[in-house]
Amino acid sequence: MTLMAFKMHYLRQGRNLQNESERMMYIEAVLIEIANLQKAVERDHYLRQLADEFSLSLDALKQEQYRLYREKKSHTNKEKKSVIQVRQQMFQPKKLLPAHHNAERMLIAHMMKDEHVAELVQEKLGGAFYIDEHQALAAYLFAYYAKGYEADPSSFIGQLTDDRLIRLATELAMLEVNNEYEEQELNDYMTLIENYPKRVEIEQKELEVKKEKDPIKAAMMLTEIHQLKQML
């Protein structure tokens, strides 16, 4: 018995083929299996067998089998397209983040892997990050090290209870950070964060200059902007 013949035999079991409804269900099930056959000769053979057994038009069976084949192919293509779209969304490049945002991310990534970095950040910034989630993670890290735990991202993440913070901490723990960092690198990050309010002020003043119609007032504002930039 061929595989297709076995399938046809299996599909008949428990069906009353004298009943029109069950007979039609059986025929459709067999047509679906025939549509999966690779060779045209096999498809033709089993279609003729169906036509003979149930006194059906061979052309009608061929049309129905082809319809089922197209329907299945369309469904498969939709599934493939859906998978591709999901993958594209997963791997599409993320939007560039502001400099201070990236600086906060890098500092926390270092802090999770080195207690000394956490001490430096606490001393200089006191955990005053501008992104709420970053500030929360920093606070948890300070408390984590204060309890005497050693640097271990997995252990730290295991103590978090907020799903958002767990996802963020996991993402940051996976960032590639240089274990042989220089304190200058860390200072650069912290300086970026400290200067963030001045940068916002400069951006606002530059916007005001563009809107200012009085050339003298605009010149005075540009001088203020220059002085603020020197302070950065």
Q: Burial, 14: exposed, middle or buried (Cβ in 10 Å; 0-12, 13-18, 19+)?
A: exposed
Q: What are phi and psi of 125, to 5 degrees?
A: -105, -25
Mean pLDDT of 188-200: 72
- Per-position b or e across 32-54, b if 16+ CB within 10 A of its CB: bbbbebeeeeebeebbeebbeee
Superfamily designation of domain 99-180: DNAb Helicase; Chain A (1.10.860.10)
Distance from CA of residue 86 to its chain's centroid?
Answer: 8
Which of 56, 13, 63 has its CA nearest to residue 34? Answer: 63
Say if residue 220's pLDDT is above 50.
Answer: yes
Question: Using 50, 70 and 90 to split pLDDT, how confident is the model at 157?
Answer: very high
Domain boundaries, the chain: 3-91, 99-180, 198-231
Give the residue with greater pLDDT, 76 vs 174: 174
* pTM reported for the whole predicted model: 0.48
Task: Provide, rounded to the nearest whole percent, the portion of the chain with pLDDT above 70.
Answer: 70
Average pLDDT over all residues of the chain:
79
CA distance 202 to 68: 66
Q: What are phi and psi of 41, to 5 degrees?
A: -65, -40
Give tens-digit pLDDT for 84-143. 554 444 444 445 667 778 888 989 999 999 999 999 888 888 767 888 899 899 999 999
Residues in the chain: 232
Instruction: Quickly list DSSP for the chain.
Output: --HHHHHHHHHHTT--TTSHHHHHHHHHHHHHHHHT-S-HHHHHHHHHHHHHHHT--HHHHHHHHHHHHHHHHHHHHHHHHHHHHHHHHHHSPPPPPPHHHHHHHHHHHHHHH-HHHHHHHHHHTTT--SSHHHHHHHHHHHHHHHTTPPS-HHHHHHT---HHHHHHHHHHHTS---TT--HHHHHHHHHHHHTHHHHHHHHHHHHHHHH---HHHHHHHHHHHHHHHHH-
What does the pLDDT read at residue 90? 42
CA distance 36 to 50: 16
